């Protein structure tokens, strides 16, 4: 039962509700319910944060290494180089996300227009 499994107009919305809304808001409601009962320092939360962080990092790496669409035609070296330049700028600018974005995009766009 994938996103494209049924032709009905409502199926994608049901898919988004179940795999998207339910899968995220359950955690938020659980958070309200637990309220102050749980310490942010508790060890199980360190593990949970590690897994969640690694999962999102894997998504990011795949978006850079195996992109689809308009980015797919660009060289891998350019994408990785732009990402590294962005992270370096972010760290040098004392963790300003905007600096990282501007530098990474500048490197990428310069490369894309040079290649033509």
Partner 1 sequence: MSENATAESSSEESHFAWYLRGVRRCFSIPGLVLVSAFIGFAGLAREAGLTLPQTVFMTGVVWALPAQVVLVGAVLAGNSLIAAAFAVALSSVRLAPMVVALTPEMRTPGTRKWVLYVLSHFVAITSWVLAMESFRHVPRHLRTAYYTGIGSTLVLVNMGVVATVFLLAESLPVQVTAALFFLTPIYFLTSLWGSARERAGHVAMILGLASGPVFHIVLPGFDLLAAGGVAGGAAYIWHRSRVRREMGK
Footprint on residues 54-113 left by partner 1 (CB under 8 A): 54-71, 73-74, 79, 82-83, 86-87, 90, 95, 97-98, 100-101, 104-105, 108-109, 112-113
* Cβ at position 8, least distance to partner 1 in Å: 13
Binding pattern for the stretch 6-25 against partner 1, x by CB under 8 A and - elsewhere: ------xx-xxxxxxxxxxx
**Closest by CA position to 40, among listed 30, 48, 28, 52:** 48
In angstroms, rounded to a whole number, what is the distance separating the alpha carbons of residues 114 and 111? 5
C-alpha Rg value of the chain to the nearest Å: 20
DSSP per position, 38-58: S-TT-HHHHHHHHHHHHHHHH
* Cβ at position 73, least distance to partner 1 in Å: 8
In the chain, the N- to C-terminal Cα span, in Å, equals: 41
* Cβ at position 77, least distance to partner 1 in Å: 14
Candidates 4, 7, 8, 77; binder of partner 1 (CB under 8 A) is 4
Window 33-52: residues binding partner 1 (CB under 8 A)? 34-38, 40, 45-52
* Cβ at position 39, least distance to partner 1 in Å: 9
DSSP 20: I
């Amino acid at each position: 039962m994938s996103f494209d499994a049924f032709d009905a107009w409502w199926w994608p919305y049901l898919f988004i509700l179940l795999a998207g809304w339910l899968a995220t808001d359950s955690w938020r409601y659980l958070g309200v319910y637990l309220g102050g009962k749980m310490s942010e320092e508790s060890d199980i939360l360190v593990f949970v944060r590690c897994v969640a962080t690694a999962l999102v990092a894997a998504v990011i790496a795949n978006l850079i290494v195996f992109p689809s669409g308009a980015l797919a035609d660009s060289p891998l070296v350019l994408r990785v180089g732009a990402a590294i330049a962005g992270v370096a700028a972010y760290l040098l600018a004392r963790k300003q996300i905007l600096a990282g974005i501007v530098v990474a995009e500048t490197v990428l766009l310069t490369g894309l227009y040079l290649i033509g």
